[in-house]
Amino acid sequence: MADSENEQDEQKATSGSSNPSGNVRIAAIAIAVAVVVLAAGIGIGFAIHGSQQPEPISAQEQPTDSQNASDNSQASQDVHKHDWVAEYETVHHDAETHVVHHDAVYENQTVYSTMCNTCGKYFDPNTNDGSDHLKETGHKGLTKQVPHKETVKVKDAWDETVTDKAAYDESVLKDYKCSTCGVVASPEDVQKDSANQPTEA
């Protein structure tokens, strides 16, 4: 009697588990629970991560003032500053002169000549003794070494060169040359370059 009752209970259990509508209901409940749990987890995670602020850049990653100063110093060294050295050339200047003309110089001096006794004409004893004069004129007699005043040229005419300014050499600025890179520039360009250079504090 007891055995028959156990068999009946097993059949009922077997028949109940094979009920398809019951199995579908259980599966649907399980899926709904899983969806609720999953949604809750996603919401919590979003709330946690959304509330977190971005981490600041560490002090090691941020550039320091000393690094900025070093970069600026390196940049200034990369800009070449010319060291201009003046170059000169020698220019010769000729003397400045003008010409002054001087006339012949005459003086009234006492000379000794040969004189015609008739007309009193004088003859230079070195060039003319007066004999031809007597023959041509028929005059009589000559007197030698007769003193008399006569205008005598003591100096011929001449030209004198007068120096107004003596010749000299002048050292003149030619251009400028950079002692480091060797580039050559005119004084005007150097003046512009110096004006564009930053002044030191």
Considering Cα of 47, then 49, then 50, then 56, what sign does the dihedral take? positive
| Structural domain includes residue 176 | no
| Structural domain includes residue 141 | yes
C-alpha 175/C-alpha 130 separation (Å) is: 81
The pTM for the full model equals 0.36
Please give the chain's pLDDT, 201 residues, in tens.
445 554 555 554 444 444 556 667 777 787 877 767 676 666 555 555 555 555 555 544 555 555 555 555 555 455 788 888 999 999 999 999 999 999 999 999 999 999 999 999 999 888 888 999 999 999 999 999 999 998 989 999 999 999 999 999 999 999 999 999 989 998 888 888 777 665 554
| Structural domain includes residue 144 | yes
Buried b (16+ CB within 10 A) or exposed e, 87-107: eeeeeeeeeeeeeeeeeeeee
| Structural domain includes residue 8 | no
C-alpha 133/C-alpha 140 separation (Å) is: 10
Structure tokens at 96: 């400045």
| Structural domain includes residue 121 | yes
| Structural domain includes residue 12 | no
Number of structural domains found in the chain = 1
Q: How far is CA 52 from CA 42, 46, 125, in A?
A: 16, 10, 145
**What pLDDT score does 162 carry?**
96
| Structural domain includes residue 81 | no
DSSP the chain: -HHHHHHHHHHHHHHHHT-HHHHHHHHHHHHHHHHHHHHHHHHHHHHHHHHPPPPPPPTTTSPPHHHHHHHHHHHHHHS----EEEEEEEEEEPPEEEEEEE--EEEEEEEEEEEETTT--EE-TTT--SHHHHHHH----EEEEEEEEEEEEEE--EEEEEEEE--EEEEEEEEEEETTT--EE-HHHHHHHHHHSPPP-
| Structural domain includes residue 26 | no
- Domain extent, residue 137, equals 103-162
